[in-house]
Amino acid sequence: MLISDKWLSHGSAGTFDLIDPSTGLRVTEVPMGGPNEAGKAVAAASAAAPAWRRFPPHKRRDLLLRLADLISANRDLFGTVAAVEQGLPGGSIYARHCAEWVRYYAGWSEKIHGTVNPSYPVDALAYVVKEPYGVVAVITPFNESLSALGMKVAPALAAGNCVVVKPPEQTPLQTTLFARLALEAGIPPGVLNVITGGPAAGEALVRHADVRKVSFTGGIRTARAILKAAAETVTPVVTELGGKSANIVFADGDWQAGARLSAMNACVNIAGQGCMFPTRLLVEESVHDAVVEEVRRLLAPVTIGDPADDATEMGPVIDRTAMDRIMGVIERAATHSKLIVGGKRRGGDLADGFFIEPTVFDDVDPDSELAREEVFGPVLAITSFRDDAEAVAIANGSEAGLAAYLYTDNLRRAHSIARELEAGTVGINGMTTVPPTFPFGGYKQSGVGREGGQDGLLEFLQTKTVYVPLGEA
């Protein structure tokens, strides 16, 4: 844990065994902080906040650019760490994503400005300024913890806030490395602090009276607890809470590309543990059989195994608890849906790890658990539809609304359906990683607030109006 410029190898809440999910073996022991360490970290951030707020914007920019360069220079090390603690193949790409976010928000540091507003009926000089909150608590997810640091910490620091990060218990090492590089880049002590720990540490941060804003990515159950705790101090919270994204494939579109998008993201990338992955594949009836066969063909040759091996395409899920939960979903789904691919744990040389085969169900009832609840594992649900109205109704049937996708060559249909979909991001004929330039967030129970673009910066700024009367009423 990092408090100011001091590294702590012990915590008041004991220790946590970090397990390599590809082998099931203990890697190391991680200190667990609690309310004591959370309080000290917030105190360190509070002490650093006045100076960081007044830190010249162009110098704040330069420090963040230096941090981005260090992240890029250490991308192979980040990849190794991600393989060990997360079972993630090709993890170095997330260092590139993180560096891009840090560079983007570094450029915003000296572009934060206000406005001068007209005043009536009294003549006055009225101007509006944007100011940092002070201390921000950031709670990150296990699946893309490094990317989340770029999405949350970078704009918070660029806006002039100090930050306390609580990484997930399963993947703290990427955050630790990020913090080490931040100190190396010259970011002053106390501006960025890291507390490893469980729910008690997170709750202590959220409840702390000196934490003025919370940014959280994770599950809806944890989000409810955070929102309830934050309500006591009326602390604003930005949340990104996952999804159950639909991918609507029409017969007039590139159905092969649509099949690939869902197959490789819902089942292979990060072992399906992605919040915006298209885990529901909705297919127009006339191309249904062809799409199902294409999904089967795409998944058959996928290489599952050691995440440190360059040939590996798919690694394990994060831990035994997740594996057991996902297998329970698969077993229940098999009673009412048609299993066409996978459905089992990997045995043999991989038996000690938490590997689940890419799993695909067809004829999935839109009202079933599999169609409505986020699995967060390598499971794809396929459902057919007859027309546009039915496709939209099924897509909007989930309480999640993070993302949605559609494939069609009909321009009018594409924009018409995009307008009807209840999702924060809609991809037409493709999907990329989330770039730092546009806002990302959800509708409905997928969260409140946005990350990315100017919207993501404004989440970490509050508005002040200064009013000077120049005349009489």
The Cα–Cα gap between 270 and 378 comes to: 8
For every residue of 338-370, DSSP letters joined together read EEEE--SB--GGGTTS--B--EEEES--TTSHH
From residue 267, give the alpha-carbon distance in Å to each of 337, 357, 368.
17, 8, 19
259, 295 Cβ separation under 8 angstroms: yes
> DSSP assignment, residue 187?
P
What residues contact residue 343 under an 8 Å CB cut-off, 6+ apart? Answer: 330, 334, 357, 359
Of 192, 247, 221, residue with least CA distance to 407: 247
Distance of CA 52 to the CA centre of its chain: 26
What residues contact residue 390 under an 8 Å CB cut-off, 6+ apart? Answer: none
Which residue stretches of 186-319 are H helix?
Answer: 199-207, 220-231, 255-267, 288-299
The Cα–Cα gap between 170 and 16 comes to: 9
The Cα–Cα gap between 152 and 20 comes to: 26
Of 193, 217, 211, 224, residue with least CA distance to 451: 217
Tokens of 355: 């590997």
364, 337 Cβ separation under 8 angstroms: yes
For β-strands 447-448 and 237-240, DSSP reports them as antiparallel
**Residues annotated as catalytic (active site), given as ranges:** 240, 275
Instruction: Determine phi and psi for 284, rounding to 5 degrees.
Output: -60, 140
Q: Residue 182 burial by CB count (10 A; 0-12/13-18/19+): exposed, middle or buried?
A: buried
The Cα–Cα gap between 437 and 45 comes to: 28
The Cα–Cα gap between 225 and 241 comes to: 13
The tokens 């077993």 sit on which residue? Answer: 331
Of 219, 183, 172, residue with least CA distance to 11: 172
The Cα–Cα gap between 129 and 353 comes to: 53
